Structure 1
Amino acid sequence: MLGLALALALVLSPVLYLLYLSSLIVIPYLKSLPLRRKLRHLPGPPVTGLFLLGNVPDLVRTPVHQCMAAWTEQYGKLYKVELPTTTAVVLTDPEAVSQVLKVDRFEKLTTSYQNMEKLTAEQQPNILTEPLSPYYKVVRRAVTPAFSTANLKRFFPMLQDITQQVMAGLEAAGPSAALDLDRVAQRLTIDVIGRFAFDRDFGATADITKPNEALQVVGELMTALQLMLNPLNRWFWWRKEARGLWHSRRRYDALVRRALDDLRASPPAEHTLLHHLMHLTDPNTGKPLSARRLRSETALFWIAGFETTAHAIGWTLMFIAGNPQVESRIAAELEGAGLLAVPGRAAPRQLAWGDLGGLKYLNAVIHESMRLMPPASGGTVRAVPRDIQLAGHMVAKGTMLWIPFYAMQRSERVWGADAAQFRPERWLAGAGGAGVGGGQGPAAAAAAAAAAADEDDIVRAADTQSARGFLPFSEGPRNCVGQSLALLELRTALALLCGKFRFRLADDMGGVEGAVSAARQHITLKPGERGLLMHAIPRVPA
């Protein structure tokens, strides 16, 4: 009998698994046929392989962000992409995007964000994956004070101290060392999260050569989540990638639980992010967040500003290192403000809050870097709530609407013939930046908004970033709640780093072109396997 049972198991197991796979692919494909028929009039790339896979083979053969950028130029501001379970409509028309995100406020397609509910051992929704519900609004409203101008000003000296620790590490390594500046920036951003959110020192910048637990555990989880974007790793649970995600989630879960236990024993300061989370009331229960909810939100906020801001710092340093004229102009601006190390003044004056808005050219460099290499390059995915006209085409209710930021921000249809060029001048008043479809161009819109904002107000500056066709932090009520902190980190770190060092790309990076072509879009737009290898050369040798 035992032998018969084993034989039946061997025969039935593959059959049962095939049925399981069909429930993931074939059945959803059949269910999607009515919607596919409604969208068949739209332009888009042809399906050249197995029809069930749609355009996925194209997206696998070419890095997905590059593939989407090429299709945007070929098929226009709205086109369709066939996926195994649905037809996605890709939208890169700035006016229509603004309508979707800011005016009509289409909801996120939550199924596209399910991976971000798998951060700890328990799958749990969080503010990123929740619909625009009372719970979302309460959490958003509760954490917003942490990103206020007053709180950012309070944190500003601590941010400078953290950056100074990074600078000490770069100086100790010496100009001959080719360091992965993206990885170094991750040390900076994880220590920022530690101080800003937890009121704790994670110690990642104390010695940039030593392993760091928080950095390792969070980085490992991000890598595991990125690998799970490959559907094969989701469908075949025995693959090492799927096992790796479970292992990473358990390690991160233990880290989050330990951190929360420590915060309960020794509460964080009132101005910190975790203080606000630990004291908010869940509108669904009328009580403080449950332990599970608190772990979920803590886990999200811990990683949310970690890789994205670090990549933004790294990509900006890459553009500066690869463009000597840009580097020289930044140096001249810093010298004019007394913020550049020069012979006879090896230690520039201390950076002040009021300097941040006054460094116009450096800020233009940051904008241009985020335009060309937006960390959240994949953009956002929304659900179409009704039949609607978008960019001159009818889009059916229930459609998956994909707004890819990388493709839109590099599109010649949006930015003009020089869209692929790194040209910070497009962000400066009177520079004659690229126009946008018959209205005010992105450069003009950004310049006008900047003129209206207080130069020393990072929060208001963050709100002016959404010039037409430029959405590194998204737009509307679901935009990035921490964008003001991210901008503060970028402006502060780059002003201090560029005031102390010149940066040069390592020879084997292949210049800016090589580094850009090696980039891969996973959850974030990250450098290739070698990272961003650069030499940090002190402006005044020790």
Structure 2
Amino acid sequence: MPQTLAFMKQEAHPHHVIWTLFANKYGGIYRLEIPGHRFVVVNDPALLPAIIGRPGLPKWAAYQNVVPLVAKSKVETLFTTPHSSDPMWKTVRKALNPAFSPSAIKSKFGLVVEKCWALCDWLEQMGPGADVEAQDAMARLTLDVVLMAGFGIASNTIGDPAPVPLLTELHYAMDETFSKPVRAVLLKLLPFLPAAKEREVHFARLYGIWDGWVQQMLARGPPPETDDSLWACITRVRNPSTGRPMEGDKLQAEVASLIVGGLDTTAQTCSFTLALLATHPAAQRAVAAELQKAGLLATPAQKIPRQLTYADLSRLPYLDAVVKESMRMFPVSASGLGRYTTEPTILGGYLIPAGTEVQINYYAMQNIEANFPEPHRFLPERWLGHARAAASPDASTDGFVEGDPLARAFLPYSAGPRSCIGQPLAQMEVPTILATVLGRFEVELADQMGGYEGMLARQINAFTLSLKGGCHLKFRARASM
């Protein structure tokens, strides 16, 4: 392992970029020290099964930083519970599985298409010269979908000129918690400061939104047995120790965690993909050609293309490759994950002491030459013909794909027992959004973005990877071209 690194000297740069620099310099595994912490960083995909497979290592304490986004008291959620052997964690995970079954996902497809067309109609009204902030537009779409599909809450934020209260308060909370951690600690210690009072107001509004939705759903009464929505599945959870249903902050936190998990992750994936296509016209033309062959592209002669069907999703290999390459270059969970050893553990030939934090940074792992040739180039073609299992893991292998080096290093939804439970919804939602939007519009990067290099310089990692100041695009209707 290399000698101690002066990590804190690099804090002026985005940390996920610094992790990548270190990965290129120090290789597949190295030790890192910052004041108060000593941990091991892993970039070698061959070591992942021992860390996140079965039984794997438990999550480290840093996951508790997520709790203030979803509840005002300290509660464990599906996302934050350290051990996958925890009885309550296993109960919740199992109870939610029906909401992500193939039949359940297929039943939500029509809703996603409906919201996509609403977005496209609004984009057409905006006109070809309009500057559209894609991160906000996509977040509105995914919010509308997750609220209705998962919880039966009607939401129609697409095209509404007013700010969306949840997005305003949630993004404030994310920024305060993950972009300004020192400030957050100081404001808690000095609650009399105006900034601390402002922070308290924002978080109170956020908790009020979560609680309002939970109360609205509770007022409906028990869901029917045939209901496989997220809300119905959650109401059926019983604490294995007490036999009681979830209630109070625990119920609110699980509901909020599922909404947060299905919101920015999908929205930012779509935004980054559109921005990449806007800056790589050859790839955008290839997507258009594939859509045209399928009858899904608007033209002056066919102003309204055929509406996407569920079966179409498996017949768009180039779009699938574009999505994979976008998720490789800009994984929304850029920080990756953290675990800790509970006993002396061998990793990469090194003896790791008990109590050591182990960090896997997905952004670094997916953007280094050791794992991906020419990692800084947008090359969707690298995925054509490669294992689709990388994005659709076989449960028998915990999502780890042997024999295909690209697939082994590409884990946008993680893998193992703690892999993203919402993966099936995202895999349906992302291509549906992109195929619908790209079928009706050609996308350009707005001048204020400063081109591809300007886009790269805007990266910021505050819980999810995004672009500071937004992702500004222009949408030109293909029917008018």
TM value normalised by structure 2: 0.92
Q: 1:245 to 1:78 in 2, by over 3 A?
A: farther
Equivalent runs, 1:277-296 vs 2, <5 Å:
277-296=234-253
Distance (whole Å) between structure 2 residues aligned to residue 123 and residue 532 of structure 1 = 34
Q: 1:534 to 1:449 in 2, by over 3 A?
A: closer
Aligned residue for 2:40, secondary structure, equals: strand
Equivalent runs, 1:102-251 vs 2, <5 Å:
102-109=53-60, 111-118=61-68, 119-130=70-81, 131-132=83-84, 133-205=86-158, 207-228=159-180, 230-237=181-188, 238=190, 243-251=197-205
- Larger mean CA deviation between 510-519 and 207-216 belongs to 207-216
Q: 1:281 to 1:104 in 2, by over 3 A?
A: closer
Aligned residues: 467
* Pick aligned residue for 1:77 from 10, 15, 28: 28
* Pick aligned residue for 2:454 from 514, 519, 540: 514
Deviation by residue 1:277-335 (Cα, 9 ceiling, x = unmatched): 11211112111113221111112112122111111010000111111100110000000
Q: 1:452 to 1:195 in 2, by over 3 A?
A: closer
Distance (whole Å) between structure 2 residues aligned to residue 309 and residue 187 of structure 1 = 11
Q: Which residue of 2 aligns with 1:438?
A: none
Q: Which residue of 1 aligns with 2:211?
A: 257
- Larger mean CA deviation between 124-133 and 261-270 belongs to 261-270
Q: How far apart are residue 217 of structure 1 and its match?
A: 3.2
State whether residues 331 and 362 of structure 2, in contact with CA within 8 Å, keep that contact through their aligned partners in structure 1: yes
* Pick aligned residue for 1:375 from 328, 332, 335: 332
Distance (whole Å) between structure 2 residues aligned to residue 294 and residue 470 of structure 1 = 33
Aligned residue for 1:209, secondary structure, equals: coil
State whether residues 341 and 347 of structure 1, in contact with CA within 8 Å, keep that contact through their aligned partners in structure 2: yes
State whether residues 269 and 326 of structure 2, in contact with CA within 8 Å, keep that contact through their aligned partners in structure 1: yes
Q: 1:241 to 1:117 in 2, by over 3 A?
A: farther
Q: 1:209 to 1:120 in 2, by over 3 A?
A: same
Aligned partner letter, 2:476: I
* Pick aligned residue for 1:537 from 471, 476, 479: 476
State whether residues 39 and 358 of structure 2, in contact with CA within 8 Å, keep that contact through their aligned partners in structure 1: yes
State whether residues 49 and 56 of structure 2, in contact with CA within 8 Å, keep that contact through their aligned partners in structure 1: no
State whether residues 191 and 204 of structure 1, in contact with CA within 8 Å, keep that contact through their aligned partners in structure 2: yes
- Larger mean CA deviation between 330-339 and 235-244 belongs to 235-244
Deviation by residue 1:155-191 (Cα, 9 ceiling, x = unmatched): 1001100111111111111111111111110111111
State whether residues 371 and 409 of structure 1, in contact with CA within 8 Å, keep that contact through their aligned partners in structure 2: yes
Distance (whole Å) between structure 2 residues aligned to residue 44 and residue 243 of structure 1 = 43
- Pick 1 or 2: higher relative contact order, CA cutoff 8 A, min separation 6: 2
Q: 1:71 to 1:244 in 2, by over 3 A?
A: farther
Q: How far apart are residue 472 of structure 1 and its match?
A: 1.1
Q: Which residue of 2 aligns with 1:432?
A: none
Aligned residue for 1:159, secondary structure, equals: helix
**Structure with bigger gyration radius:** 1
Q: 1:44 to 1:194 in 2, by over 3 A?
A: farther
* Pick aligned residue for 1:349 from 282, 303, 306: 306
Q: 1:492 to 1:463 in 2, by over 3 A?
A: farther
Distance (whole Å) between structure 2 residues aligned to residue 150 and residue 169 of structure 1 = 30
Q: How far apart are residue 143 of structure 1 and its match?
A: 0.8
Q: Would you say 1:94 and 2:34 are equivalent positions?
A: no
Distance (whole Å) between structure 2 residues aligned to residue 342 and residue 197 of structure 1 = 35
Q: 1:69 to 1:363 in 2, by over 3 A?
A: same
Q: Would you say 1:421 and 2:361 are equivalent positions?
A: no
Q: How far apart are residue 97 of structure 1 and its match?
A: 1.4
Distance (whole Å) between structure 1 residues aligned to residue 442 and residue 367 of structure 2 = 27
Q: Which residue of 1 aligns with 2:260?
A: 303
Distance (whole Å) between structure 1 residues aligned to residue 388 and residue 99 of structure 2 = 27
Q: Which runs of 5+ in 2 are unaligned?
A: none
Q: 1:227 to 1:240 in 2, by over 3 A?
A: farther
Distance (whole Å) between structure 2 residues aligned to residue 174 and residue 336 of structure 1 = 26
Aligned residue for 1:382, secondary structure, equals: strand
Aligned partner letter, 1:218: L
Aligned residue for 1:411, secondary structure, equals: coil
Q: How far apart are residue 223 of structure 1 and its match?
A: 2.8
Aligned partner letter, 1:219: H
Q: 1:353 to 1:223 in 2, by over 3 A?
A: same
Q: CA RMSD in A?
A: 2.3
Distance (whole Å) between structure 2 residues aligned to residue 448 and residue 516 of structure 1 = 29
